[in-house]
Amino acid sequence: MRLLARHPLPITVMLTLAPTVCRQSALSDYANAEAETLQIRTALMLSLQQAIEQRGWSPEVAAKALKQTLPRMQNLMNGEISRFSIEQLIQLLALIGREVHIAVIE
């Protein structure tokens, strides 16, 4: 049985980097950047959770297939987003057979 089958539909994450019309402060810019990062991590995590659920994997099976510890997979399945970077989520999606496409739009 092949655990890491390719998913037919890639996930596309678009990060929009458009000039801001009204800049309030450097702190505001930082908050906006953090919000965009959180949106990207959320999309990646949801896609990963969905892929695991579609395969019917328990956290134990997912941990073995993705070469992670069980507590790490439980963190993922519980949506503990702060424990995962964008890079880590992309690597896990690649292991599960999903492609990630990132587009920067002006």
Q: Residue 77 belongs to a domain with what CATH number? A: 1.10.260.40
Kindly list the distances between the CA atom of residue 74 and the CA atoms of 24, 38, 69, 79, in Å, as whole numbers in the listed order: 39, 20, 9, 9
Report yes or no on 87 lying in a domain.
yes
Average pLDDT on 69-97 reads 96
Show the tokens assigned to 19.
């000039």
pLDDT surpassing 80 at residue 39: yes
| Per-residue pLDDT reduced to its tens digit, 57-78 | 999 999 999 999 999 999 999 9
Is there a contact between 97 and 9 (Cβ–Cβ < 8 Å)? no
Percent of the chain as helix, strand, coil, to the nearest 5: 55, 10, 35
If one counts the domains in the chain, the total is 1
Report yes or no on 93 lying in a domain: yes
**Beta-bridge partner residues of 100:** 11
Instruction: Indicate the pairing of strand 100-105 with strand 11-16.
Output: parallel
Question: What is the pTM for the complete model shown?
Answer: 0.73
The answer to whether position 92 is within a domain reads yes
Residue 35 lies in a domain: yes
Residue 59 inside a domain? The answer is yes
pLDDT score at 23: 52
Range of the domain at 40: 25-105
Q: Please check whether residue 69 lies inside any domain of the structure.
A: yes
